[in-house]
Chains A and B, each alone.
Chain A
């Protein structure tokens, strides 16, 4: 092994350790945050007994889950029942490996460590565990593996509620994956590259993609909610119909694993929204963040953290604001609204980019993005003003009209 390879391995291991620690501690604190946010929205106090202002509540919950009794349903498929929590947990963690969380940091070292030999690294170190050339395709692929954990948990428990939850989860996640994948194609068209770091660089040169690709952002956000099984799309574990859905039969740490996976998925979706549509670690209105110093790396890391935290708060905000969808509404939204919208939007963006770059000759990233933003204003007005006005898409809040005859017969009886 060359000294350069060893240096790379050393840095990669350190980065993995850091990312893993941040995700696990972050997920633990997110459970507390969820309870605090819900309490705040419902005018309560939330957990405030363990530690200062309830900060040690996640530790207490973790201890409780480790010490609790592990139960097995009598007729469960024991192997799959054991494997299912791990299958939903592993993809959730794998996703965090590809998202760049700060500006590249120049690292130079050259030292010898006893029998391990010489370690060398020169130049900028990207602050991401693995900057894959296929970038977000990897994220889509791995997140589509997450459905196995849930579906198998539902099936192997051998319980009707769990089975229904698993079925719903697999149907829902396949359906929304389509819209999610299609909504990301305009991002590909804009950046011309699928790797996260080049998407961030393209947004720094132009505009944050939320402006020129607003509809993509909108569709991605909704599909993200559905993919993570969060309210208003938490049909797989709808407690009023299915007890707890796919993890009804799980207890103790195995149940915890599903919980951790859900929150890790929320973190990943929020990080994806931040990276793809809000400039990633980019600090707006300055070029200093790319200067390549320790301070710049720390500042961009903080910026990324704040953006992700906002979106996590947004997810919780939605959870405690909107009621759950009905199952047919969920499927209608996914297949009849979001998918055609995403397809049409791809065509619009294709034509707009062609006209802007080839016919008008605007090739500078920022003016081109601004021109596309102008197109998006029109498209956004059309979609939210005309399409969503209840003529083409029936709103879920609308009541079915009572047939005339029934009203008449009621009058006769009265």
Chain B
């Protein structure tokens, strides 16, 4: 049952992502991308990560993509002819697609257990069991700390300093964007 839902959502994600790349109209592309985001959110729910799913919809589908839509509406972009049709663009596309294909082939034999084992061998800052929780472990985590607590504990305890550094980086990026976009503040 779960597997059938997973394959359905995965197919939705792939089809909408392909349609996003292939559609000429920027408006249609944005809407197909929203479809991809929603399918991904569904897959997160299947992984017992309801909180991440909700945030995915709230932030990506609900805020970031609306901003995309907003800009497209504001600039009134039509279905412009693509200027990525030259031989050099095709060559770049083939190279990137080939690299991604190789990466996919390398991941073919990967399993959650192998990933957890590799993390356990590398010098990690926290217990790998708390990062790659699958099945029963994830359910125990949810029962003990709630859906949000499972995300909050590593974020605000184990990885507090990296988290704060990231937030400062993001703040710098926001300030930089405002300064670049607006000469007179």
Contact = CB atoms under 8 A, between A and B. Distances in A.
Interface residues of A, number: 31
A154 B73 contact: yes
A166 interface: yes
B34 A144 contact: no
Interface in A80-98: 80
A132 B66 contact: no
Nearest to A87: B31
B54 A138 contact: yes
B148 interface: yes
B162 interface: no
B98 interface: no
Interface in B53-73: 53-55, 57-58, 61-63, 66-67, 69-70, 73
Given A137-B51, A166-B73, A170-B70, A144 B62 contact: yes
Contact of B51 (A77, A134, A145, A177): A134
Give the most central of B57, B62, B70, B74: most A CB within 10 Å. B62
B63 A193 contact: no
Interface in B84-142: 142
B84 to A, nearest CB: 24
A2 to B, nearest CB: 12
B19 interface: no
Give the most central of B53, B63, B66: most A CB within 10 Å. B66
Contacts of B50: 132-134
Contacts of B73: 151, 154-155, 163, 166-167, 170
A145 B142 CA distance: 27
A137 B61 CA distance: 14
Contacts of A142: 57
Contact of B54 (A134, A147, A174): A134
B52 to A, nearest CB: 10
A136 to B, nearest CB: 9
Interface string A145-175: 1011001101100000001001100110110
A385 B114 CA distance: 61
A21 B173 CA distance: 49
A140 B67 CA distance: 17
A92 to B, nearest CB: 14
Contact of B66 (A137, A151, A154, A155): A151
A141 interface: yes
Contacts of A155: 27, 69, 73
B176 interface: no
A175 to B, nearest CB: 11
Interface in B135-164: 142, 146-148
A137 B58 contact: yes
A141 B54 contact: yes
Contacts of A194: 146-148
Interface of B: 27, 31, 34, 50-51, 53-55, 57-58, 61-63, 66-67, 69-70, 73-74, 142, 146-148
Instruction: Give 5 nearest A-B pairs by CB, closest first.
Output: A144-B62, A141-B57, A137-B54, A141-B58, A133-B147
Given A133-B50, A155-B73, 18 more contacts: A133-B146, A134-B54, A140-B58, A140-B62, A142-B57, A144-B58, A144-B66, A145-B61, A145-B62, A148-B31, A148-B69, A152-B69, A154-B73, A155-B69, A167-B73, A171-B70, A173-B66, A174-B70
19 contacts: A80-B27, A133-B142, A133-B146, A134-B51, A134-B148, A140-B58, A140-B62, A141-B57, A148-B69, A151-B69, A151-B70, A154-B73, A163-B73, A166-B73, A173-B66, A174-B70, A177-B62, A188-B148, A193-B146
